[in-house]
Amino acid sequence: MESGETQLAVASKLTAIGIMALSLAIGFLSFYLLSDLTKEKRKRHIEELTSQFINFVIFIWLGKIVLHLPIFISDPLSILTYPSDSQSFYFAIVLISLLLLYKTKRKKLNILPFLESFIHIFLVGSFVYEFIQFVVEDNPYAFGYLILLAVLIGMFFFLQERLTTMMIVMVMMIVWSVGLVVLGFVQPFVTVFGYIMAPWFVGLFFVLSMGTLL
């Protein structure tokens, strides 16, 4: 019985990972096909973004270990099956933000073009993910975020030829953050790639991000 439950849990986790990977792959493909950057710049941005996504996954696993250290010490292998929760996701966001800030300060990364490329991939990938959740997985709570993402994607492509990169990044972050906070109050929860986003964290992330950009 336990073996069957374990197999179902593993299958569910693999399905979730597969949906996320497919969504991000479509986001990357959309960026490569639709970006107005030169081919060389697109390749460099894709390489950097791929590297940072890998770092983000590593940071989530690190968060699982740090935040559940007693479990990891008593049974290290159990951390492989222990689900990644929102706290691990928040932990990874903080670490990846610090890493990007460090690379920017060391002049190893031009942060604004990087963020604009990230926004393109993130919005398209998130839209595909939420669409699958709503249509295939029959998750009614995905609908609100799906509408928000559709609005953001429309705004992003509309503003690309009209505003500077700095203004595009700021407008997208403001609308995304406010939209998530509103959704967090009108429905039981709102998720980003399956991780619950608490309104307080979205607000804190928004304030810190705006402060860093400014």
Q: What is the pLDDT of residues 106-119, one digit of tens each?
A: 877 888 889 999 99
Q: Which amino acid is at 120?
A: H
Alpha-carbon distance of 10 to 81, in angstroms, equals 8
What pTM does this model have? 0.87
Q: Compute φ and ψ for 196, nearest 5 degrees.
A: -70, 130
Which has the minimum average pLDDT: 29-33, 79-83, 91-95, 175-179?
79-83
The structure tokens listed for 161 are 């030829």
Q: Give every CB contact of residue 127 below 8 A, 6+ residues apart in sequence.
A: 146, 149, 150, 153
Q: What is the pLDDT of residues 73-87, one digit of tens each?
A: 777 666 666 666 788
Alpha-carbon distance of 102 to 94, in angstroms, equals 12
SS3 assignment, position 24: helix
Q: Which pLDDT band, with edges at 50, 70 and 90, does 9 fall under?
A: low
Give the residue-averaged pLDDT of 58-85.
Answer: 74
Q: Compute φ and ψ for 169, nearest 5 degrees.
A: -60, -45
